[in-house]
Amino acid sequence: MMKESDLTGKVYDIQGFSVQDGPGIRTTVFLKGCPLRCPWCHSPESQSFASQLSWMAMRCIGVEKCGKCLTACKKGAITVGESTESIGTGEKIKLVHVNRSLCDDCGDCTKACYPGGLSICGEDYQVDDLLKRLCRDIPFYKQSGGGVTVSGGEALSQPEFILALLKGLKEQGVHTALDTTGFTDFKNIVAVLPYVDLFLYDLKHMDSQQHKKVIGVPNERILENAKKIARAGGKLQIRIPIIPSFNDSEENLRLTGEFCKALGDAVTLVQILPYHNMGVAKYLRISDDPKIFETEPPTEEKIQNLKEILESFVLKVTVH
């Protein structure tokens, strides 16, 4: 049988001094792969379970001075592309072009790309190595009441790996938070429950049909899992992304507030996360033909109004 410490998981980012994802100073580790397809997702690279080639044109210094990727790619997926002005020096340069239909995300080109325009998103980590990395900031966690947040994608989609990871963190005395969509088998949650100090739990829409229509999955399992966590003594920090014309109706927020109130003491905080469009540029890095969702961020008045609705259910509410 495989030792727990040898398990590998796919990580696409590790962020130190993460201070929006739970109490204190935290490090957040982002796991790759998600069963949901939220159109507004600001981390499109988190959706696929596989490693992907990421292409950031602004870092390319041009084929005139570099062009190593052209020969490094054995699939013929990289060719000379359009002319542009270098962001760094203002010189005229020719960028490369990535033909996604020929690319199999093997990563050969990234090894030749010194400026870092081509990179592989998604790195395999063994539990022990990841633990070592996450424990480097323990002095900051201790001083600030912080810890580690495991996020995704949907972290519970790699159940054995995160179980081993969370166990390891608790052994080191680190406070743990798990950021989840809640869309998973409850058995995965039961397994990690003793090792999670706080669930950061998304509630996107109270109407299951709407939920399914827009996100691709219904919400019953998500709501059910939240109730079970509460009953089992888990702590929940509810997060509600506010997406204009999808879930920003007063009705939806009232239903969400009612639901949270019914969860009782398990809910420590409700966070409103207003939609922002910072993630748009990231879609172009992983796809030639991205489905970009764009809308105007909600107004401050609107957010204030929704916040008051939630507060009417005697909940502690913050806006990020």
Partner 1 sequence: MITLKPITTRVLKMRKNYRETMPKVCTARLKIVTDFYLENPNITGILKRALVFKELAEKMPVLISADEIIVGSMASTYRGSALFPENDIVWMKADNEAGQLFNRELDPYIIDDEDWAYISSVIPYWSKNSLSAMTDAYIPEGYFAAVGNQVTVYGDKGICAAPVGHFCTNYDKAIRVGFGTVREEAKGKMADLEGKMDAGTIKKYNFYRSVVIVCDGMITLSKRYGAEAARQAEACSDLSRKAELEKMAESLNWIMEKPARNFQDAIQIMFLYQIGMCLHNNMHAPTFGRVDQYLGSFYKADLAAGRMTPEEAQEIYDLFSLKVAEMNKIWSSGTTLAVSGYTVGQLMTLGGVDKNNQDATNAVTYMMLQTAARLELHDPPLSLRIHKDTPDLLWEAALETTKICGGVPTFENDDVIIPALMKNNRMDLESARNYCLIGCVEPAGCGDEWPACGGSGGEAYWNMPMAIVHAINDGHNPMPDFFGNVNENRTGAHTGYLYEMETFDEVLKAVSVQYQYFLEWQMSMVNMFEVVAAEHMAQPLVSCMMDGCMESGKDVMNGGAKNNSCGVPGVGIGNAVDSLAVMKHMIYDKKICTAREFYDAIMSNWEDREDLRQYILNEVPHYGNDADYADEWATWLLNLFADIVTNFTNVRGCKFAPGLYPVATNVLWGLMTPATPDGRKGGDPLSDGISPVQQLDKNGPTAILKSVSRIPQERFSNGTLLNMKFHPTALSNESGKEKLEALMKTYFDMGGMEMQLNVVSVATLRKAQEHPEDYQNLVVRVAGFSAYFVELFKNCQDDLIRRTELTL
3-state DSSP of 239-275: EEEECCCCCCCHHHHHHHHHHHHHCHHHEEEEEEEEC
Q: Is 7 in the site for partner 1 (CB under 8 A)?
A: no
Short-list 269, 22, 250, 13, CA closest to 148:
22
Q: Is 115 in the site for partner 1 (CB under 8 A)?
A: yes
Among 68, 170, 227, 235, binds partner 1 (CB under 8 A): 68
- What sign does the dihedral 222-227-228-234 (CA atoms) show? positive
Nearer to partner 1, 34 or 150 (CB): 150
Binding piece for partner 1, criterion CB under 8 A, among 10-18, 195-203, 205-213, 233-241: 10-18
Binding piece for partner 1, criterion CB under 8 A, among 121-129, 139-147, 158-166, 196-204: 139-147
CB of 15 to partner 1, least distance (A): 7
Number of residues binding to partner 1, judged by CB under 8 A: 23
Among 7, 25, 206, 310, binds partner 1 (CB under 8 A): 25
Number of Cα atoms under 13 Å in the Cβ half of residue 28: 21
Is the link from the previous residue into 173 a cis peptide, with omega within 30 of 0? no
CB of 145 to partner 1, least distance (A): 8
Among 27, 48, 54, 176, binds partner 1 (CB under 8 A): 27
Helices assigned H by DSSP within the chain: 68-72, 108-112, 127-135, 138-144, 159-171, 186-192, 208-215, 220-231, 250-262, 280-286, 300-311
Residue given tokens 């019953």 in the structure block: 220
Nearer to partner 1, 145 or 290 (CB): 145
Q: Taking a C-beta distance cutoff of 8 angstroms, is the pair 43, 58 a contact?
A: no
Burial of 237 (0-12, 13-18, 19+ CB in 10 A): buried
Rounded Cα distance between 15 and 10, Å, is 15
Q: Is 21 in the site for partner 1 (CB under 8 A)?
A: no
Q: Is 159 in the site for partner 1 (CB under 8 A)?
A: no
Binding piece for partner 1, criterion CB under 8 A, among 134-142, 148-156, 280-288, 291-299: 134-142
Q: Is 136 in the site for partner 1 (CB under 8 A)?
A: yes
Q: Is 24 in the site for partner 1 (CB under 8 A)?
A: yes
Q: Is 137 in the site for partner 1 (CB under 8 A)?
A: yes
Q: Is 66 in the site for partner 1 (CB under 8 A)?
A: yes
CB of 256 to partner 1, least distance (A): 23
DSSP, res 22: S
Residues forming the site for partner 1 (CB under 8 A): 15-17, 19, 24-25, 27, 61, 65-66, 68, 114-116, 136-137, 139-140, 142-146
